[in-house]
Amino acid sequence: MNFEFSDEQKLLKDQASGFLKENCPLVSVRDIVDDDALSYDKTLWAKIGEMGWTSTTIPEEYGGLGCSYLELSVIAEELGRSLAPTPFSSSVYLATEAINVAGSDQQKNTWLPKLATGEIIGCVAVAEAKGQITPASLATESNGSTLSGTKIPVADGDVADFSIVFVRANIGDGASAYIVDLTQSNVERESIRTLDPSRSQAKITFTDANCELLGKEGEGWSLLQKINNTAAVLFAWEQVGGSEHCLEMAKAYALDRIAFGRPIASYQAIKHKLANVYVKNTIAKSNCYYGAWALSTNDKELPVAAASARISAIQAYYFASKENIQVHGGMGFTWEFDCQFFYRRSKQLAVNIGSELVWQDKLISAIELDRAS
Amino acid sequence: MDFNDTPKEAEFRIEVRTWLEANAPTESELRDMEPMASSKLWQKRKYDAGWACLRWPKEYGGRGASAIEQVIYSQEEAKIQTPDNVFMIGQGMCAPTMMAWATEEQKREYVPAIASGEKVWCQLFSEPAAGSDLAALTTKAERDGDDWIINGQKIWTSGAHYSDYGVIVLRTDPTVPKHKGLSYFFFDMKSEGVETRPIKQISGASNFNEVYFTNLRVPDTQRLGKVGQGWEVALTTLMNERASIGSGGGGGVNFNRLFKLAQDVNINDKPAIKNDVVREKLANWYVQESGLKFTGHRTLTALSRGELPGPENSIGKLVGAPKSQDMASFGLDLLEQSGAIWDDEYSDFRGLYQTSYMSSPAIRVAGGTDEIMANIIAERVLGLPQEVRVDKGIPFNEIPTSSSVK
């Protein structure tokens, strides 16, 4: 039994932690949140590119490090813990994955080396309206060489260089994926205000925008499910990192804050609350280990493992971030305190690639499929 | 990361499996045998072949094996049908305490008989007015020459009715603060002055007892630790208890069974598994169950590497016990009106959900209530301070009790 990261992977995690402590203190997250003109931390993003994190799972032939998802998992945990305000998840977990999985040789040669260095940013555009997105609900259409429609919200769509755009298809699984250069004149985009301003989102309108098919027509929805399974595990690691940070903050405050002549950390009401946070974090983390293992071995259990990691991490982060505010009392509700950033991020991560409700249903469907075979 | 044994572990697993396949008691062998007799038969056979209490030193009846070898053995034995283990308390709690605190002579005399199953031991700690606040116990031991004379009552004593020996914590000095006035002993359960009365539980079963002491005489030589050191000795026992109770119990309701039930029964003429509320609940239990399973894998990894496991395994009982209860309750809901039936003839699954519904409350209390487990996580894992105690430093006989304040 070896259900643990290797020493090298642990070292990478320590390096990532040290790097982010120095280059991404919470005050820099606050800077992004406070300034509407700033979508992300450009200096941090450039350094992350220099560190090679953006190239972690890209094959060496395309300029990447060719490492496994285990390496990417430990990086994700630390990015989540630090609330790094960068387009890392959109560009690395989603856009890079999509091209790596479905791209032609030429597409890989065009995009992967630049994604690897971080000099370009990719994103994924799926949502168009409120509620769960399905192929039937997509209004964006393509004639094969151009596409038209409006996508909102698109995480990091205002800062990305290109997007994987999912459009309606009348064949196959009902959707197709296209690569679209977002810098062309047929693309209009605006930053939108969001629940978590440390992560930018955009409204993008495509009017006969030039596009290039990614994968096959009518196989877009399957591609999206596949990259979402990968992203679910990596998002979950970010969520666990954030949840653990919340627990540390709540604990530190509870030990420091005196009420009725003693630290509030000595009251069972607070102790049990924090014990429950620890329990949920541990459940989520162990499921993340499972997800990372399934992802790194491309095991057939991945759909179950990814959903387990995602559901438990959504639950853990929501709980940890709201109870962190609660432990801080009124101060937790002030703009001055940092609790808000975790509460915001927990929900941003919880809805970005499909909500808890969607993933609970996916999990049971995956188990039904597994048991039927 | 991988789930496989190391080559050395794989070799050990084969050795275990080979022995178990050749030696596990057959059905015909056990036919017409009382449960206790078959338990003892199996335990003795394991002991004779060196497969009992693997982690203990050889001189006390063990095998001197590593923690991961013990785990591998347990995993393999769990795969086959063997008689119930009635020695868990003796082997899991009493013997480790004896090994830590008894004299060399006593260890050699008593511990191997626990390993072999020849003697069954029980643990007598809780009292009617001392449960979570165990150190508030009042059963007293008074010195009389070379003996101690014991009077009072213990409760929740699992297996007292068939045990040969017991370990017990007693009040030897009520005039000092409560943790300081306790002493720890072991004694012969068949002695004069010991009366065991079974407690009928809400599940209908009687797994544990009240035990009354009337002028029971215990020799001073059977004291473990110094006079007044009983609390410290008791902690040795309790640490081992939590390790052995773990997340188990609840009568066997798990995700797989509930999932199958949801496929078998209908809601609005469609299989319940197609109902969104059912799916949501099942998904949440699945992730809890897999979270616990993989938490266990992380612990095993540490053991496999010869490292001390991290604190993460402390969540097992706190998550597992309420989960079992909630799943049993939901299983009854899925059965709809027939959920009310608890009858060998008419109940589905031989009353699995009914039995579990009625027995799972005990798991949330036994070996530390949910609330105490949460305190343990808060204090020992997170390092939060203890609740202020109003009885701290006060002589035990001056602390208010439920009866003194009435």
Q: List, as one string, the DSSP characters of B244-285.
A: HHTT--GGG--HHHHHHHHHHSEETTEEGGGSHHHHHHHHHH
- Distance of alpha carbon B83 from alpha carbon B176, whole angstroms: 46
Chain segment A19-61, per-residue pLDDT in tens = 999 999 999 999 999 999 999 999 999 999 999 999 999 999 9
Do B282 and A254 make contact, defined as CB atoms within 8 angstroms? no
The C-alpha torsion from B378 through B380 and B384 to B386, rounded to 10°, is 90
- Map out the domains of chain A as residue ranges: 7-117, 122-218, 221-372
Comparing alpha-carbon positions, the chain A residue that sits nearest to B377 is A275
Give the long-range contacts of residues B17-20, CB within 8 A, separation 24 or more.
B17/B76, B19/B49, B19/B51, B20/B76, B20/B77, B20/B80
- Distance of alpha carbon B264 from alpha carbon B254, whole angstroms: 16
- Distance of alpha carbon A237 from alpha carbon A312, whole angstroms: 11
Interface probe for B, chosen from A249, A286, A297, A358 (most Cβ of B below 10 Å), is: A286
Work out the minimum CA distance from B131 to partner chain A, whole angstroms: 18
**Closest by CA position to B218, among listed B276, B141, B115, B160:** B141
- Distance of alpha carbon A263 from alpha carbon B365, whole angstroms: 28
**Closest by CA position to B76, among listed B17, B23, B121, B122:** B17
- Distance of alpha carbon B239 from alpha carbon B306, whole angstroms: 20
**Closest by CA position to A55, among listed A17, A96, A107:** A96
User: What pLDDT score was predicted for residue B245?
Assistant: 43
**Residues 320-359 in A contacting B (C-alpha not used; CB under 8 Å):** 357, 359
Q: What is the mean pLDDT of residues A143-163?
A: 98
Do B259 and A266 make contact, defined as CB atoms within 8 angstroms? no
Count of residues making up chain B: 406
In the residue annotation, B241 being an active-site residue is answered as: yes
A-chain residues near B386 (CB < 8 A): 266
- pLDDT-based confidence at B243, cuts 50/70/90? low
Give the count of Cβ contacts less than 8 A between chain A and B: 157
The C-alpha torsion from B70 through B76 and B79 to B83, rounded to 10°, is -60
Percentage of chain A with pLDDT > 70?
100
**Closest by CA position to A348, among listed A179, A193, A223, A137:** A193
B-chain residues near A297 (CB < 8 A): 1-2
B386 CB contacts (<8 Å, ≥6 apart)? Answer: A266, B379
What is the CATH code for B121-243?
Answer: 2.40.110.10
B-chain residues near A278 (CB < 8 A): 315, 377, 381-382
- Distance of alpha carbon B374 from alpha carbon B364, whole angstroms: 12
* Topology at the third CATH level for domain A7-117: Butyryl-Coa Dehydrogenase, subunit A; domain 1 (1.10.540)
Do B286 and A266 make contact, defined as CB atoms within 8 angstroms? no
Do A1 and B280 make contact, defined as CB atoms within 8 angstroms? no
Closest in B282, B305, B319 to A283, CB measured: B319
Do B315 and A5 make contact, defined as CB atoms within 8 angstroms? no
CB-side neighbour CA atoms (13 Å) of B329: 10
Q: What are the C-alpha distances in Å from A123 to residues A59, A112, A156?
A: 19, 13, 6
Mean pLDDT of chain A: 97
A-chain residues near B371 (CB < 8 A): 268, 272
Q: Write out A200-230 in H/E/C secondary structure.
A: CEEEEEEEEEECEEECCCCCHHHHHHHHHHH
CATH 2.40.160.20 holds for B1-85: no
| Residue A91 CB neighbours (<10 A) | 26
CATH 2.60.120.620 holds for B246-367: no
User: What pLDDT score was predicted for residue B355?
Assistant: 92
Interface probe for B, chosen from A247, A279, A370 (most Cβ of B below 10 Å), is: A279
In the block, which residue shows the tokens 């971080």? A118
**Tokens standing for B145?**
């020459």
CATH class of A221-372: mainly alpha
Do A1 and B304 make contact, defined as CB atoms within 8 angstroms? yes
Decide if pLDDT at B69 tops 60. Answer: yes
Closest in B3, B279, B379 to A361, CB measured: B279
Chain segment B78-125, per-residue pLDDT in tens = 888 889 889 999 999 999 999 999 999 999 999 999 999 999 999 999
Do A268 and B371 make contact, defined as CB atoms within 8 angstroms? yes
Chain segment B346-402, per-residue pLDDT in tens = 888 889 999 999 999 999 998 889 999 999 999 999 999 998 889 999 999 999 888
Catalytic residue among B241, B289, B345, B379: B241
- Distance of alpha carbon A120 from alpha carbon A91, whole angstroms: 9
A122-218 to CATH, choices 1.10.1740.10, 3.90.220.20, 2.40.110.10, 2.30.110.10: 2.40.110.10
**Is beta strand A162-168 parallel, antiparallel or unpaired with respect to A122-125?**
parallel
- Distance of alpha carbon A32 from alpha carbon A37, whole angstroms: 8
Chain segment A265-309, per-residue pLDDT in tens = 999 999 999 999 999 999 999 999 999 999 999 999 999 999 999
Domains A7-117 and A221-372 fall in the same CATH topology: no
User: What pLDDT score was predicted for residue B248?
Assistant: 42
What ipTM was predicted for this assembly?
0.95
B-chain residues near A8 (CB < 8 A): none
Decide if pLDDT at B246 tops 70. Answer: no
Comparing alpha-carbon positions, the chain B residue that sits nearest to A288 is B291
Are the C-beta atoms of residues A353 and A93 closer than 8 Å to each other? no
Per DSSP (E only), the strands in chain A are: 122-125, 141-142, 146-155, 162-168, 175-181, 187-192, 201-210, 212-214, 258-259, 262-263
**Tokens standing for B69?**
């070898």
A-chain residues near B6 (CB < 8 A): 2
Residue type, B69: E
Q: Quick one: how far is CA A124 from the chain centroid?
A: 11
**Closest by CA position to A184, among listed A204, A198, A200:** A204
Residue A216, phi-psi category: left (phi > 0), alpha (psi -120 to 50), beta (remainder): beta
Do A279 and B315 make contact, defined as CB atoms within 8 angstroms? yes
Which residue intervals of chain B bear CATH 1.20.140.10?
246-367
Work out the minimum CA distance from B280 to partner chain A, whole angstroms: 6
User: What pLDDT score was predicted for residue B252?
Assistant: 79
